[in-house]
């Protein structure tokens, strides 16, 4: 198994979990209130879940891999911008930055 496949599996599973948490976990609901983005929580959770699923299915369907990796990169860029605007610390912002870079790498390598 090469590094690209490992990153796809890691990111795909991460977004499936995070997307599901975003849709139902009370702590995520309060985070979106803190972000002042509570009306977008269901959309973000759905996009994250579908993006994670798309990455995993993208192992079989390359076009889906490209679309999912690109979409998740953009979603994490927006998440990072929100964290910066809220003046969140570096440690809290690192997951968004890391996942943005991982998905950008997946996108570039899948081209």
Q: What is the mean pLDDT of the chain?
A: 97
Q: Which whole number is the average pLDDT over 64-76?
A: 98
The per-residue pLDDT for range 8-17, each reduced to its tens digit, is 999 999 999 9
Give the count of beta carbons closer than 10 Å to the beta carbon of residue 17: 13
Residue 87: exposure state from Cβ atoms within 10 A (0-12, 13-18, ≥19):
exposed
Binned at pLDDT 50, 70 and 90, residue 60 comes out as very high
Q: Rounded distance, CA 79 to CA 15, Å?
A: 13
Q: Rounded distance, CA 24 to CA 28, Å?
A: 8
The per-residue pLDDT for range 21-58, each reduced to its tens digit, is 999 999 999 999 999 999 999 999 999 999 999 999 99
pLDDT score for 38: 96
Which residue has 């994490």 as its token pair? 76
Binned at pLDDT 50, 70 and 90, residue 1 comes out as confident
């Amino acid at each position: 198994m090469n590094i690209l496949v490992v990153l796809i599996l890691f990111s795909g599973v991460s977004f499936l979990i995070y997307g599901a948490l975003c849709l139902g976990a009370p702590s995520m609901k309060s985070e979106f209130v803190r972000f002042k983005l509570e009306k977008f929580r269901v959309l973000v959770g759905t996009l994250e879940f579908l993006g994670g699923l798309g990455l995993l299915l993208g192992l079989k369907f390359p076009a889906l891999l490209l679309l999912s990796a690109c979409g998740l990169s953009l979603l994490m860029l927006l998440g990072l911008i929100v964290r910066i605007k809220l003046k969140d610390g570096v440690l809290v912002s690192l997951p968004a930055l890391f996942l943005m870079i991982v998905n950008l790498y997946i996108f570039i390598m899948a081209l």
